[in-house]
Structure 1
Amino acid sequence: MIEIGGLPAHVLLVHAVVVLAPIAGLGAIVYAVALRWRTYLAWPLGVLSLGLVPVTLLTAQAGEQLEKARPASALLHEHAQQGDVLKVVSVIFFVLVAAMLVVTYEPFGRRLVFLGGLRDNRAVRVALLIAGAVTGAFFVYQSIITGHSGAVSVWAR
């Protein structure tokens, strides 16, 4: 089992996911709907969405090891399932945010000349912005549901 300072790593790493995933999700929603904020949000949103992928996967791996070390319950099993969904959502979120940034944020897209047609296509831009906002909202929801099910599995005995 992965430990940090004698504590199970999952217990510590989960806080990063529970705090940063909703911030990233809300950032994607704001990026999609507020044109004037895009310049300020592009880099932080890109870095945050990229950083959340390994943090989420590492947190889930530490949780799986903790699950093997502790007696399993139905609540813990439900939390593990929610964590599996969150892993997938974090990867999908990153891919959509990256695509959204490349197509809508000038400094990113300027370097990718072969995407000129996509950047000029309004329907593609709008579709990616909508997909990014919806995925951001689902990322917020899934991180809350996963965190809640984890708290319930620990504290509702």
Structure 2
Amino acid sequence: MIEIAGLPAHILLVHAIVVLGPLAGLAAIVYAAAPRWRPYLAWPLGVLALGLVPAALVTAQAGEQLEKSRPATAMIRAHAQQGDVLKIVSIIFFVFVAAMIVVSFEPIGRRFAFLGPLRENRVLRMVLLVAGALAGAFFLYQSVITGHSGASSVWGR
């Protein structure tokens, strides 16, 4: 089992997901819905989305090791299933955020000049902005649901 300062790593790492996950999801929604905020949100959102992928994977790995060291209950199994979903959702979220930023934020988009016609397609841009906002909403939801199921499994509610 992975430990940090004698504590199971999962219980420490999970805080990155339950705090930064909803924040990133909300930022993706604002980015898609409010064009004037894009210059302020593009870099932080991209970095958060990228960073949350390994954070979710490492947290899940530490959680699986913790699960093996403790008696399994129905609540822990439910939390583990939610964690498996969150791993996938974090990857999907990153892909949509990256695509959304590439087509809608010029300082980053110009680095992908080979995508020229795709980046200039208004319909594609709108589809990716809507998909990015939906991915953000789902990532926010899944982060909260996974965190809640984990807290419930520990605190017994």
Which interval holds the TM-score relative to the shorter structure? over 0.9
Give the equivalent residue in structure 2 for 1:142: 142
Q: Which moved more, 1:33-42 or 1:109-118?
A: 109-118
Give the equivalent residue in structure 2 for 1:78: 78
Q: Matches of residues 11-90 of structure 1 in structure 2 within 5 Å?
A: 11-90=11-90
What secondary structure, in the 3-state scheme, does the structure 1 residue paired with 2:72 have? coil
Aligned length: 157
Segments of 4+ moved more than 4 angstroms: none
Deviations 1:47-86, CA, capped at 9 Å, x for gaps: 0000000011000000000000000000000000000000
What secondary structure, in the 3-state scheme, does the structure 1 residue paired with 2:54 have? helix
Give the equivalent residue in structure 1 for 2:99: 99
What 5-or-longer segments of structure 1 have no aligned partner?
none
Give distance in 2, aligned partners of 1:37 and 1:105: 11
Amino acid at match of 1:64: E
Measure how far apart 1:114 and its partner are: 1.1
Q: Taking structure 1 as the reference length, what is the TM-score of the superposition?
A: 0.99
What 5-or-longer segments of structure 2 have no aligned partner?
none
Give distance in 2, aligned partners of 1:100 and 1:82: 26
User: Once the two structures are aligned, what percentage of the paired residues are identical?
Assistant: 74
Q: Taking structure 2 as the reference length, what is the TM-score of the superposition?
A: 0.99
Give distance in 2, aligned partners of 1:5 and 1:146: 25
Say what the alpha-carbon RMSD is for the aligned residues. Answer: 0.7
What secondary structure, in the 3-state scheme, does the structure 2 residue paired with 1:112 have? helix
Give the equivalent residue in structure 1 for 2:6: 6
